[in-house]
Structure 1
Amino acid sequence: MNRVNFRSALISVLLCCMLIAACSPSGGKGDSGKSVESYIQPAFLQPGDSIGIMVLSSPINTIRRSKVDSMIRVVEGIGVKVRLGEHIFKNEFAAFSVSDKERAEEFMRMVRNPNLKAIMFYRGGYGAIRTLEYLNMEEIRRNPKWIVGFSDVTTLHNVLSNHGIQSIHGGMPSSFWLTKRDRPDSTLITVQNALFGKTTGYEVAPHPYNRYGEAEGILAGGNMTLISASIGTPYDLQVNENTVLLIEEVGEGLNDLDRYMQQLQKSGKLGKIKALLVGSFTKIKDDEDPWNIGAYELIKMYTDGLDIPVIYKYPAGHSRPNYAQYLGRRVRVKVAQDGASVEFL
């Protein structure tokens, strides 16, 4: 082959490769490092719409069936119809309901189902990260619907955020309950409001560790263990100077908590963010070599040097109140001596 023909052939091959790459759907780990200019907002629900409930993390086979049925009725009480995942009561693969790929495939079937307007996970636990490589994020972008959960679901929220898709950090059936008058608790009410597009923001009481100021940015984050565990992986939460970061934790030791804060700091995430929302830190344990301080005091060591608004005791996490949050939504954060607020824009 002469040089001219070889050059023409090479150019043709390169163009074909570029075209194939541009048209191919990316999986869960695809181009998660890209800078997202705009976020897709799924359609809000209408009364009578159907939602899917499944497990992506730990199974629920050890929970009494009557308890599960009761919680499903509680969810239906907000004005939706519930369709349960086909694997929800199984425990056929190690510590999970079914294999990682099968759980991911069930999630994708719910994504593709036009009759389902939202997907809620029954519980967290562990295991969502094992399914991410089997998810087709471009297909999720083409079929956006509200994804609801927290705790272990943080890993999925982070990938959705990296791909420019809004989601709801909020309670799940395992954490819902009824008041003495058989009314939904505040956790479920805020999930209902978020799904139906009625959430505008939250007022937060003053806290002595708050840092005053105002800022606007895109809300992201969730459970600290999952945020830290993803650093350096294809599912690492992309944080920049436009990020308002939410953090919460449950059941960890102070050494672990300090390690997570070190990771946020050393990875550069803490120094980039626009504002920080410190949610509930529940059942945090001291260590064999005691710190003799609380979780918020430890976190304060890191926030004192930040020139950004910081809200402590923000109502999100593993204790009540656990209010639903629109991740991927622009928010306005205001912190003053008499209190703080987060407004969803």
Structure 2
Amino acid sequence: MIKQPPYLKKGDKIAIVCPAKKLPKPIDYAIALLERWGLEVVIGKSVYAESHQFAGTDELRAADIQQFLDDKEIKAIIAGRGGYGSIRIIDELDFSTFEKSPKWIIGFSDITVLLSHIFAKYETQSMHAQMPYTFEEATPESLLSLRKAIFGETQSYEYESSFQNRAGASTGVLIGGNLTLLCFLAGSASEIDYDGKILFIEDVGEQEYSIDRMLRMLKRAGKLAKLKGLIIGAFNEISEEKIPFGQTADEVIWDIVKDYDYPVCFNFPSGHIDNNLTMIVGAKVKLDVENNKVKFKYI
């Protein structure tokens, strides 16, 4: 049975932590916005900590998250930013209190480690969404999607894809996140069962050959064959190779999944982009895909 943490209400406490890289700039804008939403913001020790490129030592970051996992007054934990580092501390965290009294974990990019882990191990929903580090550049739509998700408001997304989709309709449980992290979690306790799910993926700064390699790894491992749908988010900031790969990221992905029969949509507004819409990992969703039009709804 998939667990849905209680939605927040005004006056609830939300904690900000940094499980991975240190923050390169203040997040006062994000703190003020969360407070305008009616939430009480609690700042973790890792938010202003530094240890080389990390937001404090592994021990400090793990202890910081652990404190808020165990604190029943904290109703949600949002990562200040991603980067790299969550995989260094995931096995040090004790989720026994969280398992009995789940709360929302929010973030994207490197935070895929946490989102995947709590669904794989505890069948608990989480939010792949904008983080305080990205709030200032985020679109109003993406921040609204986070606010609605936090407070449990019904929402759906519609958009037009510039790359032709594979049409179809499907309902299923949503899983996914950053492609690199999903691959690095393979074979571990944090790996989600892909069968019968609707998968969404995104990534940033990966060249086409790397995207090709990671998707082929998932295909060879049998992770793509039994999906109910595939949502392709943003694959951006791809640097040009000295010898061109010969395919765009979308073409790479299509070539790998073209022989399956489930709906596939491209250019979904999710990932390392300003319009990073909130995706609830573990939620049941309906996906309607036409050649270039996509409708996505939580059900």
Q: Distance in 2 between matches of 1:206 and 1:102?
A: 43
CA contact (8 A) 1:204 1:339 kept: yes
**What amino acid is the match of 2:8?**
L
User: What root-mean-square deviation, in Å, do the aligned CA atoms of Structure 1 and Structure 2 show?
Assistant: 1.7
Alignment match of 2:169 (pick from 214, 238, 242): 214
Counterpart of 2:159 in structure 1 is 204
Q: Distance in 1 between matches of 2:128 and 2:184?
A: 18
TM-score computed with the length of structure 2 as normaliser: 0.94
Counterpart of 1:51 in structure 2 is 14
- 1:168 correspondence with 2:127: yes
Larger Rg over CA atoms: 1
Counterpart of 2:103 in structure 1 is 145
TM-score computed with the length of structure 1 as normaliser: 0.82
Q: CA deviation at 1:97?
A: 2.5
Alignment match of 1:306 (pick from 248, 257, 260): 260
**What amino acid is the match of 2:109?**
S
In structure 1, the gaps of 5 or more residues are 1-37
Q: Distance in 2 between matches of 1:48 and 1:144?
A: 18
- 1:186 correspondence with 2:186: no
Counterpart of 2:295 in structure 1 is 341
Equivalent positions of 1:1-345 (< 5 A) are 38-60=1-23, 62-63=24-25, 67-91=26-50, 93-162=51-120, 163-177=122-136, 185-240=140-195, 242-337=196-291, 339-345=293-299
CA contact (8 A) 2:161 2:268 kept: no
Aligned residue pairs: how many? 298
Q: Distance in 2 between matches of 1:178 and 1:59?
A: 18
Change (3 A) 1:104 1:280: same
Q: Distance in 2 between matches of 1:208 and 1:86?
A: 44
CA contact (8 A) 2:11 2:39 kept: yes
Partner of 2:174, secondary structure, is: strand
| Deviating 4+ runs (over 6 angstroms) | none
Q: Distance in 1 between matches of 2:101 and 2:64?
A: 15
Q: CA deviation at 1:150?
A: 0.2
Q: Distance in 2 between matches of 1:84 and 1:115?
A: 14
Q: Distance in 2 between matches of 1:115 and 1:339?
A: 42
Counterpart of 1:25 in structure 2 is none
Q: Distance in 2 between matches of 1:287 and 1:249?
A: 17
In structure 2, the gaps of 5 or more residues are none
CA contact (8 A) 1:209 1:300 kept: no
